[in-house]
Amino acid sequence: MQNVQQTFLSQYANAPRMQALVAGWNQMLDPAPLIDQWYNKVWNLQTAQGYGLDVWGRIVGVSRVISLSAQSYLGFYEASDLTEQGFGQTPWYRGVEATNNYRLADDGYRQLIYARALANISGGSVLETNQILTTLFAGQGDAYVRDNGDMSMTYVFRFVPTDVQVSIIQTSGVLPRPAGVSVSYSIQSE
C-alpha cells in the first residue's frame, strides 16, 4: 500500500503495536518490487531475460533455436548468400550444406524477436525494409535493401555480420521478401 496510515481507524491511530504490525504486513505483502521485477524481466522487450524473451518469441512466432551454417564455401551457385569466401580459404561448395542447430543467447534472440516483430508490421516495401535493417543493425554499419529492377532485390551490408546475424538474415525467414521476388545478399566491408 502506498500510505498505510490512511487505513487505520481513528481509535488505532495512536496504537504503536498495531501500527508496527500493519507496517510489517505492508512491507511483506507490498507487490511493487515484484511488479517492477516482472516488468523488467518479462514485459519490457529491451530488458527481458530468459523466460521473458521466450514469451516474446511465442508472441511474435520465432523459436530460440535456429540453424547456423557450420561452414563457409567456395563455389559459384551459392554466391548470392553470405557464406562465400576466396580461393585457399574454404573448401568448394558441393551442394550439401552442413548445418547445426544453435540455441540463441538472450542478445541474439532479442534481435531475432525485433526482426520478426518489425517484419510482422511491415508492408514489404523497400522503404519499410530499409527502416527494419537500420533498426536491427544500428551502430554496426550501413545495411539496406537494393531493388535491382528485375524482380530481384539484394540485401547489402557494409559491415561483416556475426554468424548469428547471418543465420537471422538468411535462414530464419524473418526479413521481408515480397512475393515473386528473388533475394540475394552482399557484404561490402571496407
Determine the structural domain holding residue 22 and report its residue range: 4-41
Distance CA 185, CA 171 (A): 12
User: Domain check: are 91 and 21 in the same one?
Assistant: no
Q: Which grid coordinates are listed for 100?
A: 547445426
Q: What DSSP character marks residue 12?
A: G
Which residue shows C-alpha cell 585457399?
88
120 and 146 co-located in one domain: yes
pTM > 0.95: yes or no: no
Treating both helix axes as pointing N-terminal to C-terminal, what angle do 51-60 and 106-120 enclose, rounded to 10 degrees? 20
How far apart are alpha carbons 116 and 5 in whole angstroms? 49
Same domain? For 12 and 27 the reply is yes
Same domain flag for 25 and 112: no
* Residue 9 and residue 76 share a domain: no
Q: What is the full DSSP assignment across 23-60?
A: HHHHHHH--HHHHHHHIIIII-TTT--THHHHHHHHHH
Residuewise pLDDT in 10s, the chain (190 residues): 566 666 666 666 777 887 788 778 777 777 788 889 999 999 999 999 999 999 999 999 988 888 765 555 555 544 555 555 555 556 555 565 555 677 888 988 998 898 888 888 888 788 888 988 888 888 888 899 998 889 999 999 998 888 778 888 887 788 888 888 888 888 886 6
